[in-house]
């Protein structure tokens, strides 16, 4: 194992402390605890709070989206592990600004269980909460079992929509409703070319041959749906697009935001090669692409590969997506 780290057990603490020092104008720790990160300028106003939680190893997911018109706070776990319910509870209490708190997170066992426990505790003090577990990974379960699907890169779009809706002063029910509507129109599928190494484990999470790729592999190394021989970027874009179009129906003049997300070790150049073909495929269908997202949004340590997310827009979702927002890792400009 070659990694630029100190002690494997200090991995999360070290990178979070470095993050705070680099972005002290945007971030702060709650109670000086590196497992709870909140906005520097907490908006103690009459708005819905938006919080998330998740394991380390996916930067900029999850804590990278704490900021203006996005998340208000994030609880941080060890690599690929959920933070505790007590950290989530403290975070919810801190991010309650008078209109309740939306807990928005990936559909994983530990996160589901710990957010359930955390919200049970805050309910005793009449802090209203709603929970949404994101389930955008189409490879992780068939459509008739979509409630079992994992949350992957599409959660970034959900953060964006929820944060913009909360900033408009909508109540908790409306912010939740709009976010759920967005998620009904968000689908993701990924492909892995190589494994990653969890620092404390010290070995690869899975094995894959040099001339093979795995379609649908999860961001923790969960098994995909098929192993294939390495193919060209164009063919890969075509095959992943075909799978997404099985669930996202597109017709002429529909508007779509597309995310090409790198998993950690894929050069940005290669992501644009995939986007080059994807753009032409959608242009042939006379679909309009709005604010394409190309880069590392939800990684898996140093895993090579990428994912493609489709987000089908209506007028309201388009307006919320294009609202100006800013975090140290995410900035969009209205256009």
Q: How many CB atoms lie within 10 A of CB 124?
A: 7
CB 161, CB 178: distance < 8 Å = yes
Q: What is the largest CA-CA distance in the chain?
A: 56
CB 35, CB 158: distance < 8 Å = no
Query: Is 58 considered catalytic here?
Result: yes
Q: Estimate to the nearest angstrom the gap between the alpha carbon of 173 and the chain centroid.
A: 22
Token reading at 275: 């986007």
| Catalytic residue from among 23, 26, 39, 58 | 58
* Percent helix, percent strand, percent coil in the chain, to nearest 5: 35, 25, 40
| CA neighbor of 234 nearest in space, from 292, 277, 191 | 277
Which of 223-226's residues contact partners 24+ apart within 8 Å by CB, and which partners?
224/139, 224/191, 224/192, 225/139
H-assigned helices in the chain: 11-22, 85-94, 109-123, 155-167, 172-183, 233-245, 268-284, 315-321
Cα(113)–Cα(109) distance, rounded to whole angstroms?
Answer: 6
* Helix-helix angle 268-284:233-245, to 10 degrees: 50
| Catalytic residue from among 87, 150, 220, 312 | 220
Residue-wise DSSP of 84-131: PHHHHHHHHHHT--SS-EEEEEE--HHHHHHHHHHHHHHHTTT--EEE
- The one-character DSSP state at 204 is B
SS3 assignment, position 251: coil
Query: Is 220 considered catalytic here?
Result: yes
Active-site positions read 58, 220
């Amino acid at each position: 194992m070659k990694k630029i780290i100190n002690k494997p057990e200090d991995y999360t603490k070290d990178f979070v402390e470095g993050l705070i020092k680099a972005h002290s104008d945007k971030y702060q720790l709650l109670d000086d605890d590196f497992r709870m990160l909140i906005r520097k300028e907490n908006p103690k106003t009459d708005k819905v709070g938006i919080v998330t939680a998740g394991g380390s190893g996916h930067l900029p997911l999850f804590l990278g989206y704490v900021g203006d018109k996005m998340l208000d706070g994030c609880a941080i776990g060890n690599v690929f592990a959920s933070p505790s319910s007590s950290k989530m509870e403290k975070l919810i209490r801190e991010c309650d600004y008078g209109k309740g708190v939306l807990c928005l997170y990936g559909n994983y066992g530990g996160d589901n269980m710990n957010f359930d426990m955390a919200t049970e505790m805050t309910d005793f003090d009449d802090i209203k909460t709603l929970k949404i577990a994101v389930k955008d990974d189409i490879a992780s379960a068939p459509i008739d079992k979509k409630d079992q699907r994992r949350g992957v890169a599409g959660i970034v779009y959900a953060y964006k929509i929820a944060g913009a809706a909360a900033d408009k002063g909508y109540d908790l029910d409306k912010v939740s409703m709009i976010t759920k509507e967005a998620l009904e129109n968000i689908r993701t599928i990924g492909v892995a070319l190589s494994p990653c190494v969890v620092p404390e484990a010290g070995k690869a999470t899975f094995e894959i041959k040099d001339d093979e790729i795995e379609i649908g592999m999860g961001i923790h190394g969960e098994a995909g749906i098929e192993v294939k021989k390495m193919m060209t970027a164009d063919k890969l874009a075509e095959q992943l697009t075909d799978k997404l179009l099985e669930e996202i129906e597109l017709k002429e003049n529909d508007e779509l935001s597309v995310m090409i997300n790198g998993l950690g070790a894929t050069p940005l150049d290669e992501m644009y090669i995939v986007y080059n073909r994807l753009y032409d495929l959608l242009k042939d269908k006379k679909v309009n692409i709005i604010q394409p997202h190309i880069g590392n949004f939800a990684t898996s340590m140093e895993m090579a590969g990428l994912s493609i997310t489709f987000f089908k827009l209506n007028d309201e979702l388009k307006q919320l997506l294009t609202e100006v927002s800013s975090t140290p890792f995410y900035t969009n400009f209205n256009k």
